[in-house]
Amino acid sequence: MIRINDILERLIDVNPDADLDIVERAYIFSARVHDGQVRLSGEPYLSHPLEVAYILADMKLDVESVAAGLLHDVIEDTHSTEEEIKESFGPGVCHIVNGVTKLSKLTFHTAQAREAESIRKMILAMADDIRVILIKLADRIHNMRTLQYHQKREKQIKIAQDTFDIYAPLAARLGIYWIKNELENIAFKYILPDEFEKIRTLVDKSREGREGFVEEVKQLIKKKMESVGLKCHVLGRYKQYYSIYNKMVTQDLEYEEVYDIMAFRIILDTVSQCYEALGHIHSLWQPIAKKFKDYIGVPKPNMYQSLHTTVIGPKGERIEIQIRTQEMDQVAKSGIAAHWSYKEGKVVDEKVNKAYAWIQNLVENQKNVKDPDEFLENVRIDLFPDEVYVFSPKGQTKALPRGATPVDFAYLIHSEIGNECTGARVNGRMVPLSYILKNGDTVEIITTKGHTPSKDWLNFAKSVKARSRIRQWIKTQEKERSVSLGKEICEKAFRKYKLNFNQLMKSEQAFSIVESFGFKTIEDLIANVGYGKISALQVIKKFDPKTEPEKPSLLTKLIRRPKKAKSTEGIVVKGIEDILVKFGKCCQPVPGDPVTGYITQGRGITVHRINCIHALKMNPDRQIDVEWSKEEGETFPVRIAVHAHDRFGLLADITATISKCGANILHANTKSLDNGIADAKFTIAVSDKDQLHQVISSLKKIKLVQSVKRVDRQ
């Protein structure tokens, strides 16, 4: 267990002049308010803030950050108040502790909304004071290290998945790769325990016979550098288990085919020495084409710098070598924490502020996004990107998400240039707007005054800024059309019942009716009539509940359905009762899938998964919100594809496994290919998404099964 003296000694190592008083007082305060509390491990609760504070001290953060680490959960978990912290430790520490506390206190009706708001708060916290996120990451690291003390497997998986989806990528974006690697590795252990154990066993087995090889390579590198007068430090290490597993999955490799399980690092004093060392490594061993990356000349957005090369080393083995300075190595280990300093009230220099301007951009991009799904999609693009670097005609370097197009580049320069973009030249040649930009491309945008964005651009635009601006323009245009159409529909409908639409919309009653539909303005209500999401008759009934329809509208035609049919079929259409519902055969949604509805004239509402290719092409005017009902007992068909090495008894094992999971096989189609591979497609009946995942997970464990996945009808 970490002691307070360990933390103080680490702070002195980093800064001999550090004022330790605030840290010592924070320790005494934390010990007092946490007295009597214990963790799931049985240890005193104080062990947790001590571990968090030590991690922060080890990251070389200032004393204020370390003190805040000792106090990070006192407001949430004890009777301590914000005012008490501010009075005892000053506004700086209080501000950080309060920021961490706000990230923890989140209560929402849906997991999606909770996740969206959690990330939104983290973005705002990062923009306000990056130390809040650094403490949150240190907190998560220690909680993951003690995850085994959670008794429920479901809880362990949930925490591990959140860590994997949010905290590990966040650490990578901040350049703190040791945290990213450790979080991924522990999460991997709990999410996929069988695969983790398999990789661990393989690495341990290969390590036994390769320790000598690692030492041999290190000595050869040292000898070569010494012979040319370059003083250096050489390290050799095995890659993290998850990194190896991810490479095996994404590149469809066996363990024996992953050539860079070991990586070597050469650390020197200057940048010029790094390039000189690279030349000597390439003279010693043959470099592999397209496996060289210069992150010194073009650093990553999180300020990571290094030269990466892969060579054919001793015994014909491929080895990865990273070459960097000591300063670069510190940045690679600590990321933004290596630069962050609050000495004498000053923040980081302009260079660091510029490198992390993406945090402010992220805040700006997300300000007006209300829909949780769209917000999460945008954040994942913006927060966890894989960049491509291109040049403006003036030679300025611009970073864009991998897969970006000239449209993304145009919006990156200015929203107006994006809106008026009509063409592009890349490296002097005309290209379509859907052209995928590559590293080193020089991009020139052609604009036409008065031109407007196209809805089709959403099919290939990748950056959040471009997609947000295009959507904003489309929504503005659609709303204008819908308001005009909705007003026309309402005026005609109100006249039928001898009501004055314009006069009623100015009455006090109108505002309460608008709120009853869940809208903020009368214009929003009228627009939704134009969209087709609510009918004019529904609005009329709010003004006069006794109103009876003279003629059936589209929605009232829809709700006239056979009496013998089930009332809900597992779906609730928001705001409408007793309506004909059917499920898209293309994507076969099951309970648990995020879904949307599509009004089909005379045939009720068709429900699709929101990522279904047909749903994405829907006319938004006919889209309607739907959700799964809480009724149980129904089953839903879904297609799965199994890819395996053929063997005797394979089909019997597959069908038995599906049955054990409680699912029924509705249809099966199997075939054996000439290369000894068996392809099988099944349509099975499941009750919800969880049961489907259980089936897929169980099938993956069958001997010689290579892959199992859910498939849509093409």
Yes or no: say if 104 and 37 are a contact pair by the CB < 8 Å rule. no
Q: Which two tokens stand for residue 341?
A: 């300093």
Yes or no: say if 464 and 365 are a contact pair by the CB < 8 Å rule. yes
Alpha carbon distance 196, 204 (integer Å): 12
Q: How far is CA 5 from the centre of its chain?
A: 38
Beta bridge partners, 707, equal: 643
Yes or no: say if 683 and 667 are a contact pair by the CB < 8 Å rule. yes
Position 670, amino acid = T
Yes or no: say if 67 and 86 are a contact pair by the CB < 8 Å rule. no
Going edge to edge, which strands form the sheet with 677-686?
Answer: 664-672, 677-686, 636-645, 705-710
Query: Which candidate, 343, 301, 342, places its Cα nearest to that of 172?
Result: 301
Query: Which candidate, 26, 23, 29, places its Cα nearest to that of 9?
Result: 23
What residues are labeled active site?
A: 76-77
Instruction: Give the largest CA-CA distance in the chain.
Output: 99
Alpha carbon distance 677, 696 (integer Å): 19
Alpha helices in 251-324 (DSSP H): 271-284
In angstroms, the first-to-last Cα distance of the chain is 57
Alpha carbon distance 353, 360 (integer Å): 10
User: Which sign does the torsion angle of CA 251, 254, 257, 261 carry?
Assistant: positive
Non-local CB neighbours of 441 within 8 Å, separated by 6+ positions:
390, 391, 426, 427
Position 560, amino acid = R
Q: Which two tokens stand for residue 215?
A: 């030492």
Yes or no: say if 255 and 201 are a contact pair by the CB < 8 Å rule. no
Q: Which two tokens stand for residue 20?
A: 């330790």
Angle (CA) 162-164-167 rounded to 5° is 75
